[in-house]
């Protein structure tokens, strides 16, 4: 039975690309026999294929003749099922590669809708700036007051003058005021890397059971009101512990805005400690090239002194937009004048990975069709017209590179799948999973990135997300 595909509009939905990525992984697992180490694994793959086929048959305008796991027990049934999977993938690829295919966003009505959505995004930024600035004025005029921070000392930061003096400032927030097991696993990873940890909570409070759990990892626990987000938390911690934070060899600024680690974190920290300077895990070009602030590490005496001085002079704000300009982007600009600043995965490295990953391009073509306007998805040239197709392939590759530079994407959102699959990245943004503002098809598949070797289990991460 052939695969019957409905209107092209169905391909613009979120789940189509998710199912496409699932079937790609399932087919790859079936072909790569090294992954199928046991009969149980093989059965799991068979049932997953049938589950995806059944989902497509019931939820989309696609009719399939094989949708029962029992049909996979015979050789002919397996052959038919895999043929259907291959035909389904070929159909989805043709929809993207077809030059005449146009997504809804390119219709006049969709363009108008997209333009208004960008307008609402700008209005949200204006609302954030105005509201945050008003709160800043109220705080400055003493019409608004913040509760004094609560400091709980468990043990000295650096007992007996221990070396190296590595300090980690960990900012945390939870609506339920609960410190999850996943957060403790992150603290464990930083502790194993040799950091003394100061835990700064911006939740409503820290319960006694959580204080006891944190005492095994953190030298100091601080509870403060949420003013200035992460940068405000880090600056407050340095102010409250000014006498103990001199002469640092390394200073790590991080938070709990990511789920994970889903792969060992130690090797990534070691890369940042290999030389002196200011380092991050990823780099973004949005708003100007800068290190993303969920992980910032200063290594070396001069670098940590300048990083500490920057935080102490920083004027924090209730506005997130203002804080990003002053803190995240401003910090990178200021540190570049005096120090070596780099990301473990910089923009060029991530860009090259996207250009070599057809599945990543397919995913981006669904949510960012303008990146691929008049382009064909990169594919091997056919016989007979080798030179022409090779020329078009090279042209499209450089054209896509230029567009990725002119219209930069957020690495931890639009390119999260490349980070995790290609680089075995240890983190996934919590916002990507909970809200998914960019509507990325990869987001629902985050559980597939966690295996038995991951420090955090799926259950641990789900409990953490429930408290956000």
Structure tokens at 66: 């094989």
Mean pLDDT for the stretch of residues 403-428: 90
Statement to judge: residues 336 and 259 lie in one domain: yes
Domain enclosing residue 47, as ranges: 1-100
191-220 pLDDT tens trace: 999 999 999 999 988 999 999 999 999 999
Report yes or no on 391 lying in a domain: no
- Where are the strands (E) in 179-322, listed by range? 196-201, 218-223, 250-255, 258-259, 277-284, 290-291, 295-299
Report yes or no on 388 lying in a domain: no
Statement to judge: residues 137 and 223 lie in one domain: no
- pLDDT recorded at residue 16: 38
Question: How many Cβ atoms are within 10 Å of 211's Cβ, its own excluded?
Answer: 17
Domain boundary among 348, 371, 387: 348
324-362 pLDDT tens trace: 999 999 999 999 999 999 999 998 899 889 888 888 888
Q: Is the pLDDT of residue 1 over 50?
A: no
Decide: pTM greater than 0.75. no
Higher pLDDT, 247 or 64: 247
- pLDDT recorded at residue 359: 84
Statement to judge: residues 161 and 263 lie in one domain: yes
Rounded to whole angstroms, the Cα distance separating 148 from 442 reads: 42
Report yes or no on 433 lying in a domain: no
Report yes or no on 265 lying in a domain: yes
Statement to judge: residues 50 and 79 lie in one domain: yes
Statement to judge: residues 73 and 167 lie in one domain: no
Statement to judge: residues 70 and 115 lie in one domain: no
Q: Among 161, 173, 229, 236, which Cα is nearest to 205's?
A: 173
Question: What is the rounded average pLDDT for all residues in the chain?
Answer: 78
- Residue 177 belongs to a domain with what CATH number? 3.90.550.10
Statement to judge: residues 73 and 132 lie in one domain: no
Domain boundary among 296, 316, 348: 348
- pLDDT recorded at residue 116: 67
Statement to judge: residues 253 and 156 lie in one domain: yes
DSSP 153: E
Statement to judge: residues 295 and 196 lie in one domain: yes
Work out how many domains the chain is built from and give that number: 3
- pLDDT recorded at residue 308: 94
Q: Among 14, 1, 9, which Cα is nearest to 439's?
A: 14
156-176 pLDDT tens trace: 888 876 778 899 999 999 988
- Reported as type and span, the H/E element at residue 363 is helix 358-367
Q: Among 430, 169, 436, which Cα is nearest to 312's?
A: 169
366-393 pLDDT tens trace: 888 777 776 655 555 444 445 666 666 7
Tell me the sheet residues that pair with 5: 62
- pLDDT recorded at residue 466: 85
Higher pLDDT, 19 or 406: 406
Report yes or no on 454 lying in a domain: no
Mean pLDDT for the stretch of residues 289-310: 93
Q: What is the rounded end-to-end Cα distance, in angstroms, of the chain? A: 46
Statement to judge: residues 297 and 168 lie in one domain: yes
- pLDDT recorded at residue 25: 41
Q: Is the pLDDT of residue 18 over 70?
A: no
Structure tokens at 404: 């990725």
Rg over alpha carbons for the chain, rounded to the nearest Å, is 25
Mean pLDDT for the stretch of residues 220-227: 93
Q: pLDDT band at 420, cuts 50/70/90?
A: very high
Domain boundary among 329, 348, 367: 348
Statement to judge: residues 125 and 265 lie in one domain: no
Contact indicator for 361, 354 with CB cutoff of 8 Å: yes
380 by Cβ neighbours in 10 Å (0-12 / 13-18 / 19+) ranks as: exposed
Statement to judge: residues 60 and 70 lie in one domain: yes
- pLDDT recorded at residue 343: 94
């Amino acid at each position: 039975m052939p695969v019957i595909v409905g209107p092209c509009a169905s391909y613009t939905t979120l789940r189509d690309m998710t199912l496409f990525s699932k079937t790609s992984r399932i087919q790859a697992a079936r072909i790569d026999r090294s992954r199928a180490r046991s009969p149980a694994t093989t059965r799991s793959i068979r049932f997953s294929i049938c589950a995806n086929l059944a989902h497509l048959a019931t939820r989309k305008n696609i009719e399939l003749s094989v949708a029962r796991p029992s049909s996979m027990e015979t050789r002919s049934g397996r052959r038919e099922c895999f043929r259907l999977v291959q035909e389904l993938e070929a159909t989805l690829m043709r929809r993207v590669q077809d030059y005449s295919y146009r997504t809804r966003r390119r219709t006049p009505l969709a363009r108008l809708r997209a333009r208004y959505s960008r307008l609402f995004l700008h209005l949200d930024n204006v609302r954030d700036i105005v509201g945050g600035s008003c709160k800043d004025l109220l705080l400055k005029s003493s019409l608004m007051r913040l509760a004094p921070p609560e400091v709980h000392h468990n043990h000295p930061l650096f007992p007996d003058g221990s070396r190296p003096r590595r300090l980690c400032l960990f900012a945390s927030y939870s609506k339920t005021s609960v410190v999850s097991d996943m957060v403790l696993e992150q603290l464990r990873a930083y502790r194993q890397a040799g950091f003394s940890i100061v835990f700064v909570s911006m939740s409503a409070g820290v319960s006694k059971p959580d204080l006891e759990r944190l005492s095994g990892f953190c030298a100091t626990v601080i509870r403060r009101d949420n003013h200035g987000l992460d940068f405000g938390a880090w600056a407050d911690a340095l102010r409250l512990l000014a006498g103990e934070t001199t002469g640092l060899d390394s200073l790590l600024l991080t938070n709990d805005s990511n789920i994970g680690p889903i792969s060992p974190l130690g090797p990534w920290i070691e890369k940042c400690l290999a030389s002196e300077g200011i380092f991050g895990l990823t780099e973004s070009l949005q708003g100007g090239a800068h290190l993303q602030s969920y992980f910032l590490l200063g290594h070396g005496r001069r670098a940590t002194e300048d990083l500490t001085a920057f935080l102490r002079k920083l004027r924090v704000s209730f506005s997130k937009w203002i804080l990003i300009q002053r803190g995240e982007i401003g910090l990178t600009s200021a540190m570049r004048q005096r120090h070596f600043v780099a990301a473990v995965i910089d923009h060029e490295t991530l860009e090259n990975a996207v250009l070599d990953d057809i599945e990543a391009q397919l995913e981006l073509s669904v949510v960012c069709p303008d990146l691929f306007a008049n382009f064909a998805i990169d594919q091997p040239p056919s016989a007979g017209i080798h030179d022409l197709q090779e020329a078009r392939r090279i042209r499209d590759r450089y054209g896509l590179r230029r567009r990725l530079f002119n219209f930069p994407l957020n690495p931890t959102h639009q390119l999260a799948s490349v980070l995790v699959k290609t680089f075995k990245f240890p983190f996934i943004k919590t916002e990507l999973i909970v809200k998914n503002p960019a509507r990325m098809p990869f987001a629902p598949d985050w559980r597939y990135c966690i295996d038995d070797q991951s420090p955090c289990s799926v259950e641990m991460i789900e409990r953490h997300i429930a408290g956000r």
